Amino acid sequence: MGFRQNKKEPRVRWLQTHRHALASAGVPFSVLDDARTWNYVLLHGADHHGTGWDPSWISDTQAASLLALLLEFYTEDDDLVADLTRRLTQTRSSEPTS
């Protein structure tokens, strides 16, 4: 009978490798410490039913760092990536031009 070792999953390895960088970008360890919570945040853009974390709580600088990290591995098919991209695009378009 075969079984899967969770630590060998690419998404789990990526999360473990980038855990501290993600935390520096504003994602709390309560989200990062549980792969299921992290996957929920990726799929829904926030963790309203679990930890309560929402990316609107982080600064635009942190959002840009988080988006850069996520784009190394994830695509805009994930709601968190799409939401951050939209947020930063709107922020940039509302900045005054010189």
What tens digit of pLDDT does each residue of 52-78 get?
999 999 999 999 999 999 999 998 899
Q: What is the pLDDT of residues 26-58, one digit of tens each?
A: 999 999 999 999 999 999 999 999 999 999 999
Of residues 84 and 2, more confidence is placed in: 84
- Examine the pLDDT at 90 and tell me if it is beyond 80: yes
For residue 93, the model assigns a pLDDT of 82
Of residues 61 and 98, more confidence is placed in: 61
User: pTM value?
Assistant: 0.85
Beta-carbon contacts of residue 29 (< 8 Å; ≥ 6 apart) = 19, 23
Of residues 63 and 95, more confidence is placed in: 63
